[in-house]
C-alpha cells in the first residue's frame, strides 16, 4: 500500500481475545477521569504521595551527541578504527547535559513532580508524542487508527500479548528455530508451539500455507492456531532478514486464515545487509533520512491494512537494555486490552526510565535519533564483518548456494579446518581437513552468527547422537574459556529423533572486543580440531 493511498480503519478482531484478555475490567476509577482535567479540582480520590516527599530534587544526564559514531565504514587498511574509537577513553566524548527538576517552569515540560508520581499505564505524554511521530514516519502503518502503547520491554510485552490473545491449549505458529525466551513465556500457560519451516528469509510462506491448509484438528488435538509469533529481522537465532515480498505473502495467508501476527522486532535497526568478503568490500557512505528508512526491510505494519499486527518495539538495542522500555503498535481494540493488563501488572514503565528516554529523544529530536540509528547500524555491520573475517582467516571457507532447509535460497559458507602445521601426514589431512565441519549463512541483521555443526565424522556420532555431541563440544569450548549458546535450546519443540539432524551454536558478535572475537574463533578452531579426533 503506498503512503498516498487512503487508509482504512482496522477491522473488528475482537474474537481473537482470550478469556483473560476479555475479562479484564475497565478500571472502576475510569468514571473519575472525566473530572480529572477540570481547573481547580481538588482530587482526594487516589493514593498519591505529595511530590515534596520524593527525595530527589533533580536528576541529570550527560548524553552523547547523536553523531558520535561515523556514517562511513572504515577503509580496509584500518579496519578496527570503528572499535578503537569506542574505547579510547582519552578521546573526549562529545556530550550535552539535561536536568529535570522537581517542578517544571513551563506547563507540559518534564518534571519529577509528575514523572516520578503514579502515572497512567499509557506513560508520559511527551514520550508518547515522540513514539507516535517515530512510528508514523519510520514504520508507516497501513491503516489509519493505529495506536501506540508503552511497555516495559519486549519480553513483558510478549507476556502481556499471550495473556490477551491466547488461551491454554491454543497453538502458536512459530519458525522451526525460534527465540527460546518467547517459548518459555508461553509454555506455562499451556500454549503449544506449532513450528513451520524456514528458508533463508526466515519463515517460509509455503510451509505456513501447507501447515494451515492441511490442519487436521482431530489429528493435531488442537484447533488451527490463530496467532503467529515472528522475529522477522535478525531472526533469532538464524540472523536472517525478511523482505517485504515474503511479508506480504505471509500477511495474505494470515488474512485468509484470520491469524494475528505478533511482530517481535528488537533488531530492526541492526540491519547489516549482505556480507561481502574483506577483499571485495567497499566503503559504506551516508544516506539521507528517507533513503535510510527506505533501505530497511519494512515492518509488517506497512502492509497491515486490517490492523492484525501487534508490533513490539524496544529501546533495549538502540538506547540500552536497562531502560526496560518499548512500545506496542496495534489496533485500538488490542491497545485498550493491553492497557488494562498493564494497569493491574506493571502499571506505567519506571518514571526514571521515561524521564531519561524522553529527555534523550527530546534533546536529539527525531533527526538526531535517526542519525544515531544510522551509525549504530554501521557499527553492527562492522562488527559482523570483522567477526566473519576472523572465520575466513581461521578456517577454509567454501561458498555454495543452498537449495535445502532453512538456508534455502542463499549462499552458505562451508568451513573446514586449515592445516596448522605443514608436517601433518597426508592421511590425517584428508580425514580431518577436507570435509566441512560446520556451515553458516552470514547474518544480515541482528547480533548473532548461527552455525550448523557437521559432526557426522565424529567417532561417537552414531552412539551419542547430535544433541549430546553438540553439548559435549559446547562444554569443551566453554572449558577452554569461550561461551557460545547451545543450539538445541532454539528449536521450537523438543527434538524427538536424535539420530538425524545437526548440532548448532548461536554466537554473538554484539559486545566483545575485536581481540576477544578473534581469540574466540581461534579457540573454537583449536577445540574443534581436537574434538574431531576423540
Site for a copy of itself in 295-314 (CB under 8 A): none
Residue 90 touching a copy of itself (CB under 8 A): no
The answer to the question of residue 123 lying near a copy of itself (CB under 8 A) is no
Q: List the grid coordinates of 436.
A: 566441512
Output 447 or 455, the one with its CB closest to a copy of itself: 447
Q: CA 197 to CA 192: how far, in whole Å? A: 16
- Which cell goes with 495? 527434538
Say if residue 226 is exposed, middle or buried (CB neighbours under 10 Å; 0-12, 13-18, 19+).
Answer: buried
What is the biggest distance separating any 2 CA atoms in the chain, rounded to whole angstroms? 91
Q: Residue 376 interacts with a copy of itself (CB under 8 A)?
A: yes
Q: Which is nearer to a copy of itself, 247 or 337 (CB)?
A: 337
Is the distance from CB of 346 to CB of 328 less than 8 angstroms?
Answer: no
Q: How many residues bind a copy of itself (CB under 8 A)?
A: 117
Q: How far is the CB of 319 from a copy of itself (least distance, A)?
A: 6
Q: Which of residues 320-349 bind a copy of itself (CB under 8 A)?
A: 320-325, 343-349
DSSP secondary structure letters along 305-360: SSS-EEEEEESTTTT-GGG--EEEEE-HHHHHHHHHHHHTTT-S--HHHHHHHHHH
User: Is position 56 an interface residue for a copy of itself (rule: CB under 8 A)?
Assistant: yes
Give the separation between CA 327 and CA 458, rounded to whole angstroms. Answer: 47
Neighbour-count burial of 243, counting CB atoms closer than 10 A to its CB (0-12 exposed, 13-18 middle, 19+ buried): middle
The correct pick among 5, 42, 106, 285 for binding a copy of itself (CB under 8 A) is 42
- The minimum distance between CB 25 and a copy of itself, in angstroms, equals 6
Q: Which stretch binds a copy of itself (CB under 8 A): 3-11, 45-53, 138-146, 415-423?
A: 45-53
Nearest 5 degrees, angle CA 211-CA 170-CA 153? 100
> Could you say which of 476, 512, 526, 529 contacts a copy of itself (CB under 8 A)?
512
Exposure pattern of 359-392 as b/e (b: 16+ CB <10 Å)?
A: bbbbbbeeebbbbbbbbbbbbbbbbbbbbbbbbb
Q: How far is the CB of 483 from a copy of itself (least distance, A)?
A: 4
Least separation in angstroms between residue 508's CB and a copy of itself is 5
Instruction: Identify the residue whose cell numbers are 515472528.
Output: 230
**Considering only 63-71, 276-284, 289-297, 404-412, which stretch makes contact with a copy of itself by CB under 8 A?**
63-71
The minimum distance between CB 98 and a copy of itself, in angstroms, equals 10
Smallest gap from residue 265 Cβ to a copy of itself (A): 14
Which conformational region is residue 89 in: left (phi greater than 0), alpha (psi within -120 to 50 degrees), or beta? alpha
Shortest separation between residue 427's beta carbon and a copy of itself, angstroms: 34
Grid cell for residue 355:
524521564
Q: Is the Cβ–Cβ distance between 532 and 437 less than 8 Å?
A: yes
Positions in 226-255 near a copy of itself (CB under 8 A): 236
Interface with a copy of itself, residue 498, by CB under 8 A:
no
Is 118 a binding residue for a copy of itself by CB under 8 A? The answer is yes
Of positions 2, 57, 218, 422, contacts a copy of itself by CB under 8 A: 57
Tell me, letter by letter, the H, E, C secondary structure of 157-223.
HHHHHHHHHCCCCCEEEEECECCHHHHHHHHHHCCEEEEECEECCEECHHHHHHHHHCCCHHHHCCC
Q: State yes or no: residue 372 binds a copy of itself (CB under 8 A).
A: yes
Q: Characterize the bridge pairing of strands 395-401 and 326-330.
A: unpaired
Smallest distance, a copy of itself to C-beta of residue 299, A: 20
In whole angstroms, the minimum distance from the beta carbon of 39 to a copy of itself comes to 9
Q: Is 462 in the site for a copy of itself (CB under 8 A)?
A: no
C-alpha cell at 56: 530527589
DSSP designation for 433: I
Separation between Cα atoms, residue 517 and residue 509, nearest integer Å: 7
The residue assigned the cell 532478514 is: 241
Q: What is d(CA 414, CA 371) in angstroms, rounded to the nearest whole number?
A: 37
| 522 near a copy of itself (CB under 8 A) | no
CA dihedral over 237, 376, 204, 416, signed as positive or negative: negative
The verdict on 489 binding a copy of itself (CB under 8 A) reads yes
210 binds a copy of itself (CB under 8 A): no
Give the interface segment with a copy of itself, choosing from 221-229, 326-334, 352-360, 401-409 (CB under 8 A). Answer: 352-360
For 38, other C-beta atoms within 10 Å of its C-beta total: 9
Q: Which is nearer to a copy of itself, 40 or 425 (CB)?
A: 40
**Quick one: which segment of 85-93, 224-232, 294-302, 326-334 binds a copy of itself (CB under 8 A)?**
85-93
Q: Is 156 a residue that touches a copy of itself (CB under 8 A)?
A: yes
Q: Which of residues 380-409 bind a copy of itself (CB under 8 A)?
A: none
Candidate ranges 19-27, 201-209, 224-232, 248-256; the one touching a copy of itself (CB under 8 A): 19-27
Comparing CB distances to a copy of itself, the nearer of 103 and 401 is 103
Q: Does 130 interact with a copy of itself (rule: CB under 8 A)?
A: no
Q: Which of 7, 510, 526, 529 is in the footprint of a copy of itself by CB under 8 A?
A: 510
Contact status: 360 vs a copy of itself (CB under 8 A) = yes
Amino acid at each position: 500500500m503506498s503512503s498516498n493511498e487512503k487508509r482504512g480503519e482496522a477491522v473488528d478482531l475482537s474474537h481473537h481475545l482470550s478469556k483473560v484478555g476479555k475479562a479484564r475490567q475497565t478500571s472502576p476509577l475510569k468514571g473519575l477521569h472525566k473530572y480529572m482535567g477540570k481547573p481547580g479540582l481538588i482530587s482526594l480520590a487516589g493514593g498519591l504521595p505529595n511530590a515534596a516527599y520524593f527525595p530527589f530534587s533533580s536528576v541529570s544526564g550527560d548524553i552523547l551527541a547523536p553523531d558520535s559514531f561515523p556514517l562511513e565504514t572504515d577503509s580496509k587498511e584500518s579496519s578496527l578504527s570503528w572499535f578503537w574509537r569506542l574505547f579510547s577513553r582519552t578521546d573526549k566524548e562529545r556530550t550535552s547535559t539535561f536536568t529535570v527538576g522537581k517542578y517544571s517552569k513551563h506547563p507540559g515540560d518534564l518534571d519529577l513532580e509528575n514523572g516520578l508520581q503514579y502515572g497512567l499505564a499509557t506513560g508520559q505524554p511527551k514520550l508518547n508524542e515522540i513514539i507516535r511521530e517515530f512510528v508514523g514516519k519510520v514504520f508507516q502503518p497501513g491503516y489509519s487508527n493505529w495506536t501506540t502503547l508503552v511497555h516495559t520491554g519486549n519480553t513483558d510485552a510478549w507476556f502481556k500479548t499471550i495473556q490477551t490473545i491466547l488461551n491454554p491449549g491454543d497453538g502458536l505458529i512459530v519458525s522451526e528455530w525460534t527465540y527460546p525466551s518467547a517459548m518459555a513465556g508461553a509454555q506455562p500457560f499451556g500454549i503449544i508451539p506449532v513450528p513451520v519451516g524456514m528458508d533463508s528469509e526466515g519463515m517460509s510462506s509455503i510451509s505456513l500455507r501447507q501447515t494451515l491448509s492441511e490442519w487436521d484438528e482431530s489429528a493435531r488435538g488442537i484447533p488451527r492456531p490463530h496467532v503467529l509469533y515472528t522475529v522477522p529481522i535478525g531472526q533469532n537465532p538464524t540472523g536472517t532478514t525478511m523482505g517485504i515480498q515474503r511479508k506480504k505473502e505471509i500477511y495474505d495467508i494470515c488474512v485468509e486464515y484470520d491469524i494475528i501476527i505478533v511482530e517481535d522486532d528488537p533488531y530492526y535497526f541492526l540491519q547489516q545487509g549482505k556480507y561481502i568478503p574483506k577483499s571485495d568490500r567497499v566503503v559504506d557512505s551516508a544516506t539521507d533520512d528517507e533513503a535510510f528508512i527506505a533501505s530497511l526491510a519494512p515492518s509488517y505494519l506497512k502492509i497491515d491494512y486490517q490492523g492484525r499486527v501487534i508490533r513490539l518495539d524496544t529501546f533495549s538495542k538502540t538506547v540500552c537494555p536497562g531502560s526496560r522500555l518499548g512500545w506496542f503498535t496495534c489496533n485500538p481494540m488490542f491497545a485498550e486490552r493491553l492497557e488494562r493488563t498493564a494497569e493491574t501488572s506493571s502499571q506505567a514503565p519506571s518514571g526514571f526510565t521515561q524521564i531519561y528516554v524522553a529527555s534523550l529523544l527530546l534533546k536529539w529530536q527525531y533527526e538526531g535519533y535517526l542519525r544515531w540509528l544510522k551509525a549504530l547500524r554501521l557499527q553492527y555491520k562492522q562488527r559482523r564483518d570483522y567477526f566473519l573475517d576472523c572465520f575466513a582467516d581461521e578456517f577454509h571457507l567454501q561458498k555454495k548456494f543452498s537449495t535445502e532447509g532453512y538456508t534455502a535460497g542463499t549462499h552458505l559458507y562451508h568451513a573446514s579446518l586449515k592445516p596448522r602445521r605443514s608436517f601433518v601426514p597426508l592421511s590425517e589431512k584428508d580425514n580431518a581437513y577436507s570435509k566441512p565441519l560446520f556451515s553458516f549463512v552470514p547474518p544480515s541483521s541482528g547480533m548473532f552468527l548461527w552455525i550448523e555443526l557437521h559432526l557426522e565424522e565424529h567417532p561417537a556420532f552414531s552412539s551419542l547422537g547430535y544433541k549430546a555431541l553438540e553439548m559435549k563440544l559446547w562444554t569443551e569450548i566453554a572449558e577452554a574459556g569461550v561461551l557460545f549458546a547451545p543450539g538445541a535450546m532454539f528449536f521450537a519443540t523438543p527434538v524427538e529423533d536424535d539420530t538425524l539432524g545437526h548440532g548448532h551454536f548461536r554466537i554473538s558478535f554484539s559486545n566483545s572486543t575485536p581481540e576477544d572475537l578473534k581469540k574466540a574463533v581461534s579457540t573454537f578452531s583449536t577445540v574443534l580440531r581436537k574434538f574431531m579426533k576423540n
